[in-house]
Amino acid sequence: MTSPVVARMKQKRMADLISLGKRLDERGLTDYREAQIEIGVIEKAEGSARVRLGKTEVLVGIKIGLGEPFSDVPNQGVLTVNAELVPLASPTFEPGPPGEDAIELARVVDRGIRESKAIDLEKLCITPGKKVFIVFIDLYVLNYDGNLIDASALAALAALLNTKVFNYEVKEGEVQIKPGYKSLPIRNYPIAVTFAKINDKLVVDPCLEEEQVMETRLTMTIEKDEKVCALQKSGKGYFRIQQILEAAKIARQKAAELRKLVVKK
Amino acid sequence: MPKKKVKKVVNKENIRHDGRKLSELRPIKLEVGILGNADGSAYIEQGKNKILAGVYGPKEVHPKHLALPDRSRLRCRYHMAPFSVQERKSPAPSRRDIELSKVIREAFEPSVFTEYYPKTSIDIFIEVLQADGGTRCASITAASLALADAGIPLRDLVSACAAGKVDGRIVLDLNDKEDKEGEADLPLAYMSNLNAITLLQMDGMLTSEEFEQAINLALEGCNQIYQLQKEALKAKYVEVKETMNEGADEQ
Amino acid sequence: MPVFYERRQLVTPGDLLADNNYLAGENTFKENGKIYATHTGLVNYENRNIYVMALRSFYAPLVGDTVIGKVVEVILSGWIIDVKAPYLAMLRASDVLERSFRPQIDDLPSMFDVGDIIIAKIVASDRTRGPLLTVREPGLGKITRGQITEITPTKIPRLIGKKGSMITTIKKEVGCQILVGQNGLVLVSGKSPKDERLAIMAIHKIEREAHTSGLTDRVAEMIKTEKHEKTEVRRKDAQEKSQKSG
């Protein structure tokens, strides 16, 4: 990550503005940056989406594979989420195996999808205990300007919604691929909403500058019926309980707004 | 396939499968200063969890480029012994271990006066010897004692406890079975005196009422654990206090 | 103006010690007008100053302390010394040479080399760099004989005792020299390794039992018994030998 020392001047200016209910880029405390979603951007992937949240840009590609189920859930397909903070996205990203930030990003996005049961994994079972579909979700960060979690979760959901699973038949225990596709069975729409705590106030969708001065961060993932399905506090500071309950209220509103951008009914 | 009869984890009388009430902690045993080489150490047993925490520092950072100019670098390694779970776990750190190491470290950042010792490191090592659900919380409870034992200045002890939802009810301190079969798990770390939540995670599904209820229950659990932590620290020194008072009389 | 604990009461980190109107002393901090403990220890007040005597702490360098340390690195213009503090200490070549250092002619390893133990005094220390040492005083410099042992720095006052009573007792009873570094390292040098071992035994007994009363007498007692037993054994051995040969 960038130099841990942030200019005091910048810190003060941002804190002063926030205590007035304003932000450097003139957003309100609970406003998201403009979100743009493109789907089907990678033809070779079974599903894909590219999300721009302000200057933050994440590409998600979904591949469908065949494999064995986990022994404790033999009748369910497998979901795996991986994140790459590729070096072209920021001068602070370095090549190499995923660091703790990438792993946390992937696991928080994974938790939202898994816990809301967004994918009907039982429908991805081919032969119980032997063959199931594996859904590989790869989060590819292309430009880093803060709030990777929300952008990635949004892109992952958009990509899942346009993911196709190939048709198949089982002949003598062998899975054979047939022409044609079906949609991936999706039954929930988790949306991640991230708050930064700056000067003891909460702001949603922190940009990079705000992330650099924030004390700490909280991500709440909200599913379609407004239940909380994943939480992650991240960063050095702390929250008071009132702040968390307040965040939960705001998160429900924001999740509903963002969901409309992805789920077209 | 014949459908297996689902055995409830919590029965009609609101008694859990291990005999606990809904808002009851597992038995907790804490010991402070049990390792020879570490600057500070502690051991926790919480139900079947058995966890060791050791702290080294503040000391010069290696490698040197990791030194922070304005504060001490906290580092944390959460690690599970291969024999700590039913099926042998590879000793290589998993993605879960890496994430937990990060959030545990961040749970201690508000507690430690890192600004007192710029350019040094404080290393927290956590070894889960046996795991039975809620290990991240038990690890935090123990590691906080290890930090205090190392004589590192702290704003407050950090206590941690999970609440969750099992068989439709909000319960405290989930064990492995409840975590796996339950509907939600919400681990939380808390500095009681300063009213600060330093770790908060959740997986599962909770309505807004359940969510608020779970947070409050977890906080209650933390407060109970906080008292146990204080007792454990004092137990080691209670003799000291008595005899030092005697010493003062002599003088 | 409430105070929440009595004098010498045991507290743990985070305990609320006092409201406003008090000054936050050692091992405490003030937040929103309230004073809390940062360490496990005993509370005490002096006028409006409230502080905690920590029961466990690591060595925090203080200007004027005499410390014992090990040379761990010879650098261009001096030595890096490990004094068991959060920071490595530095001894400048100019301090030893008593003039400015000339790299062409001055050979630092011939003065102090890696692994040498030195006794030194801290002349400067702040939290942004390691402590600076001097050996330019009588009694300071390289240590060439004796043994080093280590105890918790918080127990040093007990080892020294009231007006040096404890340390004098060991020196007298064992018959050896003891130099105490404020950083918890103690140098013991006696006539024989046996004497040194006995003194080290006594020092660790003090560390273990620092909180008990009547310790000085018990230490003296222990040394006497140990010495006596050993001379007895030696005498017996000698007798047996002479009997056999005779």
Domain ranges for chain B, please list them. Answer: 28-250
C245 touches chain B (CB under 8 A): no
Chain B residues whose beta carbon lies within 8 Å of the beta carbon of residue C42: 241, 244
Nearest partner of A51 among A65, A64, A31, A32, judged by Cα: A32
Nearest chain A alpha carbon to B198:
A238
- Residue B250's pLDDT band (cuts 50, 70, 90): very low
The boundaries of every CATH 3.30.1370.10 domain in chain C are 147-229
DSSP string, B76-99: EEEEE-TTSSSSPPPSSPPHHHHH
Query: Within the 68-127 window of chain B, which residues sit less than 8 Å (CB to CB) from chain C?
Result: 113, 116-120
* B243-251 long-range contacts, CB within 8 A, separation 24+: B243/C211, B243/C212, B243/C213, B244/C8, B244/C42, B244/C211, B245/C8, B246/C213, B247/C211, B247/C213, B248/C8, B250/C213, B251/C162
Measure B53 CA to nearest chain C CA, in Å. 17
Return the residue in B201, B210, B222 with the most chain A beta carbons within 10 A, the one to mutate for interface testing.
Answer: B201
Q: Does some domain include residue A19?
A: yes
pLDDT at B241: 46
C29 touches chain B (CB under 8 A): yes
**If you classify domain C147-229 with CATH, what class do you get?**
alpha beta
Q: Do B and C have ≥3 inter-chain CB pairs under 8 A?
A: yes
Against chain B, the chains showing at least 3 CB pairs within 8 Å are: A, C
B216: exposed, middle or buried (Cβ count in 10 Å: 0-12, 13-18, 19+)? middle
- Which residues of chain A are within 8 Å of residue B200 when distances are taken between CB atoms? 218, 231-233, 239, 244
Nearest Cα of chain B lies from the Cα of A72 at a distance, in angstroms, of 11
B233–chain C Cβ distance below 8 A for any pair? yes
Please name the residue of chain B whose CA is at the shortest distance from the CA of residue A104. Answer: B99
Of C10, C58, C162, the CB nearest to B237: C10
Choose the mutation target among C44, C55, C59 for the interface with B, i.e. most B CBs under 10 Å.
Answer: C55
Q: What is the mean pLDDT of residues B76-104?
A: 97
Cα distances from C89 to residues B67, B70, B221, C1, C60, in angstroms, run 17, 19, 45, 43, 12
Using pLDDT thresholds of 50, 70 and 90, give the confidence band for residue B7.
low
Query: CATH 2.40.50.140 residue ranges in chain C?
Result: 66-142
* Cis status of the peptide bond prior to B58, with omega within 30 of 0: yes
Residue A106, domain member (yes or no): yes
Q: Is the peptide bond before B63 cis (omega within 30 degrees of 0)?
A: yes
pLDDT (tens, 9 = 90+) of chain C, 246 residues, equals 567 888 888 999 999 999 878 899 999 999 989 999 999 988 988 888 999 988 888 898 999 999 999 999 999 889 999 999 999 999 999 998 888 888 888 889 999 999 999 999 999 988 667 899 999 999 999 998 899 999 888 889 889 988 899 999 999 989 999 999 999 999 999 989 889 999 999 999 888 787 677 888 888 888 888 887 767 666 777 777 777 664
Identify the pLDDT of residue C20: 76
Q: Inform me whether the C-beta atom of residue B154 falls under 8 Å from chain A C-beta atoms.
A: no
Considering only CB atoms, which chain C residues are within 8 Å of B239?
211
Q: Give the CATH number for residue A253.
A: 3.30.230.70
Task: List the C185-190 sheet strands across, edge first.
Answer: C147-150, C185-190, C176-180
DSSP β-bridge partners for residue B60 = B120
Cβ of B151 within 8 Å of Cβ of C13? The answer is no
**pTM for the model:** 0.90
- Give residue B238's pLDDT: 63
What distances in angstroms separate CA B54 from CA B34, B44, B113, C147, C159, one per listed residue?
9, 12, 18, 29, 28
**Pick from A24, A29, A133: which is nearest to A78 by CA?**
A133
Residue C230's SS3 state is helix
**Fold classification of C66-142 (topology level):** OB fold (Dihydrolipoamide Acetyltransferase, E2P) (2.40.50)
Domain hosting residue A178, numbered range:
8-262
Q: How far apart are CA B199 and CA B186, in angstroms?
A: 10
Decide if B101 and A234 are in contact by the 8 Å CB cutoff: no
Look up the CATH architecture of domain C10-54.
Beta Barrel (2.40)
Please state, in angstroms and as integers, the Cα–Cα distance from residue C159 to each residue in C60, C148, C177, C182, following that order.
18, 15, 14, 11
**Hey, are the CB atoms on A240 and B99 less than 8 Å from each other?**
no
Which positions 61-80 of C are in contact with B (Cβ < 8 Å)?
none
Residue A3 lies inside a defined structural domain of this protein: no
The shortest CB-CB distance from C14 to any of B39, B156, B248 is to B156
Chains C and A touch (3+ CB pairs under 8 A): no
Residues of A in contact with B216 (CB under 8 A): 241
pLDDT by residue (tens digit) across A149-175? 999 999 999 999 999 999 998 888 888
pLDDT tens-digit series, residues A87-110: 999 999 989 999 999 999 999 999
Tokens of B206: 């909770």
Instruction: Domain B28-250: state its class.
Output: alpha beta
Please name the member of C36, C55, C57 whose beta carbon is closest to the beta carbon of B240.
C55
Chain C residues within 8 A of B193 when measuring between CB atoms: 14-16, 36
Count up the domains in chain A and report the number.
Answer: 1
B-C contacts (CB, under 8 Å) = 98
What are φ and ψ of residue B87, in 5° steps? -95, 135
Task: Name every chain B residue with its beta carbon within 8 A of the beta carbon of A246.
Answer: none
